[in-house]
Amino acid sequence: MKAIERAFYRRSREVHPDRFAQASAEKQQWSLEQTSLLNDAYRALKDPIARTEYLLRLEGITLAEDAATADRQEKKNVPPELLAEVFELNMQLEEMRMNAQMGEDDPQLRRDLEQAQAEFAGQFAGIEAAIRTEWGKWDAASNSDNSADKQAAAERMAALLDKRRYVRNLVRDVQQALGN
């Protein structure tokens, strides 16, 4: 990451708009565009999740988010290991919404949702750790030029990213229901 940071700052100095203040309007526009592209690229490389998504797309792997966008519909692919929990959670969320509409409060339901939120937040952290582990496998496979292991790691990372996105949305839904 240090090498990327050094390259970013070096390139930033080369294309910075201040260096083109006296140049033609065309060169100034070019400088602004290059600076914007460079900043976007650096942000993507600094963020492990954005970097993973970008790399997987370069490898030709379609993420669930991309497929949903391409189809112009929101896909709700529940990870199979979460089906029972999600079913129960959705029932609790609906009950919480109905209670809110009626001006009622159910302290036990609130505690159950707070517990579910904590559990999903823990799963979220575990998924991010698993993605980092897969990065190590990806790097090892890339360094040894093992395309089968690299492809397997990429597919596992894609599945983890999809699960991460789903769990993140569950945490968000619970937070909204709880008014957090």
User: pLDDT tens across 142-156, in order?
Assistant: 889 888 998 999 999
Is pLDDT above 70 for 73?
no
Q: Where are the domains of the chain?
A: 77-178
List pLDDT tens digits, range 119-137.
999 999 999 999 999 988 9
- What is the distance between the alpha carbons of residues 45 and 51, in angstroms, rounded to a whole number? 5
- The pLDDT value given to residue 65: 66
Per mean pLDDT, which range of 48-52, 70-74, 143-147, 169-173 is the poorest?
A: 70-74
CB atoms within 10 A of CB 133: 14
- The pLDDT value given to residue 54: 87
- What is the distance between the alpha carbons of residues 34 and 12, in angstroms, rounded to a whole number? 9
- The pLDDT value given to residue 62: 81
The answer to pTM > 0.85 is no
- The pLDDT value given to residue 30: 97
- The pLDDT value given to residue 33: 96
Return the higher-pLDDT residue of 63 and 30.
30
Cβ burial 148-174 (10 Å sphere, 16+ → b, else e): eebeebbebbbbbbbbbbbbeebbebb
The identity of residue 170, as a single letter, is L
Q: Which residue has the tokens 């959670």?
A: 89
List pLDDT tens digits, range 74-115.
445 678 888 888 999 999 999 999 998 898 989 999 999 999
Q: Torsion angle of alpha carbons 71, 75, 81, 84, nearest 10°?
A: -150
DSSP letter for each residue of 114-180: HHHHHHHHHHHHHHHHHHHHHHHHHHHHHHTT-HHHHHHHHHHHHHHHHHHHHHHHHHHHHHHHHT-
Confidence bin at 68 (pLDDT 50/70/90): low
Q: Strand, coil or helix: what is 62?
A: coil
